[in-house]
Amino acid sequence: MSELSVKHLLGIKYLKEQDIQLIFETADHFKEVINRSIKKVPSLRDITIANVFFENSTRTKLSFELAEKRLSADVINFSAAQSSVKKGETLIDTVNNILSMKVDMVVMRHPNPGAGIFLSKHVKASIVNAGDGAHEHPTQALLDSYSIREKLGDVAGKKVVIVGDILHSRVALSNIFALKLQGAHVKVCGPKTLIPKYIESLGVEVETNLIKALNWCDVANMLRIQNERLDISYFPTTREYTQQYGVNKKILDSLDKEIVIMHPGPINRGVEITSDVADSKQSIILNQVENGVAIRMAVLYLLASKIK
Amino acid sequence: MSQKVLLSSKEINIILHRLACQLLENHLDFKNTVLIGIQPRGIFLAQRLTDILKSEYGVKDINLGFLDITFYRDDFRRGNKTLEANKTNINFLIEDKKVVLIDDVLYTGRSIRAALTALQSFGRPIEIELLTLIDRRFSRHLPIQPNYRGRQVDAINNEKVKVMWQENDGEDAVYLVNTTS
């Protein structure tokens, strides 16, 4: 297959397995490009992209912006904090105003689940979801799978455990969709209060014992506790959470095999993982960040080629 | 669809040896010269020439790279299909080197234009030459001409020149394919 089956990247849920493979193959080429001394290609020189961020972001925003610039797209940035959203403008109005300045693609992060899907039905531009509330974060899941593929050769058949706040995590949901689509085995691990009730319906298993989960897996994707989304108390104290679900070097060394440690960032060092784990040889956290640019270049390139 | 043979395996072999000799005449020991095959179809020709230069003319070391031009093409979003990329493999610098770009067919010249832009990402060469097996005369869109050519062909626009390689297509041959009849 040589083109994506979708016009927007709203979530992994809407992708086919071949889409993911095409994105990975394209990302391989871009990874070679960004390791040259001149890291830029002219592909998207007649495309304008608006990065619309209604929620804070460091990595994702920088990564998208870098990807756009390395494809030679024109980039405009918008963050809700300094905008007319505060004056009561609606989402569609805000975006349509941006689009009337001849913008072809919108990369959007929004606190409300489904914001990207809603927008894609009302505006003409190609939408890339950069995180919508606790729903999906497709490019993160793609770069996570891509990093597993790079480290272990393949995603199919690999055992991946996602540890932490599954309930509030868009990274978890997108990862589950992506990993299942590629034929990986997935478990989620965390306090029962932070695991959604019907998660098994997605074809994943629940394991509340961290050591058991780690002994089972090839890869552990450690998530951050999303304090900003915790409306009530889901566990007694952070210290207790760390004792039950935090990974330290001692635990890592006690396992039967060397597992791969991943983290989507930002890390709360000493909470979900300790510094010596984050900086260990088994951690591919910084590779994930590097791959993020290549993956986003691939997604933007493939989507842009469908704009007529 | 009808096709006729433009070059047989024997003719291709003779031409490859002639092109190798012409390269040798201008570049001698290839110390300061690099060969770059353009993806996807120029790489076979580049590899063949390198093999001939090494095995039959005793050239010791040749820098051979493969260049993908997909991201530099000027027809992005102009066709209906997404342009699919290939692997670029250039593990040397071309700064201050003589570069010989190698492709199977020179037609409109647009691929070569893209390749010239793409090469800039790998440094500033002192000179760039162009070698093609088939030069389709009278069909250029850009002022680009080859320095070394295998065979010049007059073909009309709805004809297609197909270059086949043993290692990829099972035979060495060049066909002229008429797509209308």
ipTM of the complex: 0.83
The alpha-carbon gap from A47 to the nearest alpha carbon of chain B, in Å, equals: 10
pLDDT band for B181, please (50, 70, 90 cuts): low
Q: How many helices (H) and strands (E) does chain A have?
A: 11, 9
- Which residues are paired to A107 by β-bridges? A51, A128
Percentage above 70 pLDDT, chain B: 99
Confidence of residue B142 (pLDDT cuts 50, 70, 90): very high
Q: Where does the pLDDT of residue B19 fall: very low under 50, low under 70, confident under 90, or very high at 90 and above?
A: very high
Q: In CATH, what number is assigned to the domain containing residue B107?
A: 3.40.50.2020
Q: What count of other Cβ atoms lies within 10 Å of the Cβ of residue A240?
A: 12
Please name every residue paired with B160 in a beta bridge, in sequence order, or none if there are none: B177
Q: Is A4 on the interface with B (CB under 8 A)?
A: yes
Alpha helices, H only, chain B: 9-27, 42-57, 110-119, 166-169
**pLDDT tens digits along A174-204:** 999 999 999 999 999 999 999 999 999 999 9
A34 touches chain B (CB under 8 A): no
Chain A nearest-CA distance from B181, in A, is 29
The two most distant CA atoms of chain B are separated, in Å, by 49
Q: Is A224 annotated as a binding residue?
A: yes
Distance (Å) from the alpha carbon of A295 to chain B's nearest alpha carbon: 14
- Position A18 in a domain: yes
A151 and A244 share a domain? yes
Q: How far does A164 lie from chain B, in Å, by closest CA?
A: 38
Give yes or no: residues A206 and A268 share one domain: yes
Distances (CA, A) of A29 to A298, B69, B114, B172: 9, 11, 16, 29
Same domain, A294 and A271: no
Residue B53 has pLDDT above 80, yes or no: yes
- What's the whole-number mean pLDDT along residues B137-155? 93
Residues A167 and A262 in one domain: yes
From first CA to last CA, the distance across chain A in angstroms is 20
pLDDT of residue A70: 97
Coil, helix or strand at residue B131: strand
Q: Are residues A109 and A50 in the same domain?
A: yes
Counting beta carbons within 10 angstroms of the beta carbon of residue B47, is it exposed (0 to 12), middle (13 to 18) or buried (19 or more)?
A: middle
d(CA B27, CA A220): 55
A143 and A277 share one domain:
yes
For residue range A234-281, what is the model confidence (pLDDT) as tens digits? 888 899 999 999 999 999 999 999 999 999 989 999 999 999 999 999
Q: Do A29 and B81 touch (CB under 8 A)?
A: no
Contact A217, A179 (CB under 8 A): no
Mean pLDDT, chain B, rounded, equals 92
Burial-class residue A231 by CB neighbours within 10 Å (0-12, 13-18, 19+). Answer: exposed
Instruction: Provide the H-helix boundaries in A153-248.
Output: 170-181, 210-216, 238-245
CATH of the domain at A148: 3.40.50.1370
Count of beta carbons in the 10 Å neighbourhood of residue B40: 17
Domain that holds residue A294: 12-136+289-304
**Same-domain status, A132 and A143:** no
A6 and B CB contact within 8 Å: no
- Asked whether residue B36 is assigned to any structural domain, the reply reads yes
Indicate whether A4 belongs to any domain. no
The DSSP element (H or E) to which A289 belongs, if any, is helix A285-304
Is residue A43 less than 8 Å (CB to CB) from chain B? yes
The answer to whether A154 touches A129, Cβ cutoff 8 Å, is: no
**Rg, C-alpha atoms of chain A:** 19
pLDDT beneath 50: ranges in chain A = none
In a domain, B175, yes or no: no
Please give the Cα distance from A183 to A154 (Å, whole number).
10
Q: Report yes or no: B4 and B164 within 8 Å, Cβ to Cβ.
A: no
In this structure, the answer to whether residues A115 and A23 fall within a common structural domain is yes
> Using CA atoms, how far apart are residues A19 and A38, in angstroms rounded to an integer?
28
Answer yes or no: is pLDDT of B80 > 80.
no
pLDDT at A276: 94
* Number of separate domains in chain A: 2
Q: Do A271 and A298 belong to one domain? A: no
Pair of tokens at residue B134: 């088939």
- Contacting residues of A for B79, CB less than 8 Å apart: none
Q: Which of B106, B28, B15, B100 lies closest to B64 in space, CA to CA?
A: B100
Does A60 belong to an annotated binding site? yes
pLDDT tens per residue, range B91-105: 888 999 999 999 999
Task: Kindly identify which residue of chain A lies nearest to residue B121, measuring between CA atoms.
Answer: A38
A203 and A86 both lie in a single domain = no
Q: Is residue B164 part of a domain?
A: no
Size of interface A-B (CB pairs under 8 A): 54
Considering the domain boundaries, does residue B56 fall inside one? yes
Taking only residues 66 to 85 of chain B, the set having a beta carbon closer than 8 angstroms to any beta carbon of chain A reads 68, 70-72, 76-77, 81-85
The whole-angstrom distance between residue A251's C-alpha and the CA centroid of its chain comes to 26
Of B81, B87, B117, nearest to A29 by CB-CB distance is B87
Which chain A residues have a beta carbon less than 8 Å from that of B121?
33, 36-38, 40-41
Residue with tokens 């690099």: B34
> What is the residue range of B86's domain?
10-71+82-155
Q: Does any domain span residue B168?
A: no
CA-wise closest residue to B120 among A30, A42, A73, A295: A42
A18: left (phi over 0), alpha (psi -120 to 50) or beta: alpha
Q: Give the three-state DSSP class for B101.
A: strand
Query: Is A265 annotated to bind ligand?
Result: yes
Long-range contacts of A298-301 (CB under 8 A, 24+ apart): A298/A23, A298/A24, A298/A26, A298/A27, A298/A30, A299/A9, A299/A23, A299/A128, A299/A139, A299/A142, A300/A44, A300/A49, A300/A67, A300/A68, A300/A71, A300/A73, A300/A105, A300/A128, A301/A26, A301/A30, A301/A43, A301/A44, A301/A71, A301/B71
Q: Please indicate, yes or no, whether residues A260 and A196 belong to a single structural domain of this protein.
A: yes
- Asked, for residue B167, whether it belongs to a domain, the answer is no
CA dihedral (B164, B168, B170, B171) positive or negative? positive
Closest-CA residue of A relative to B87 is: A29
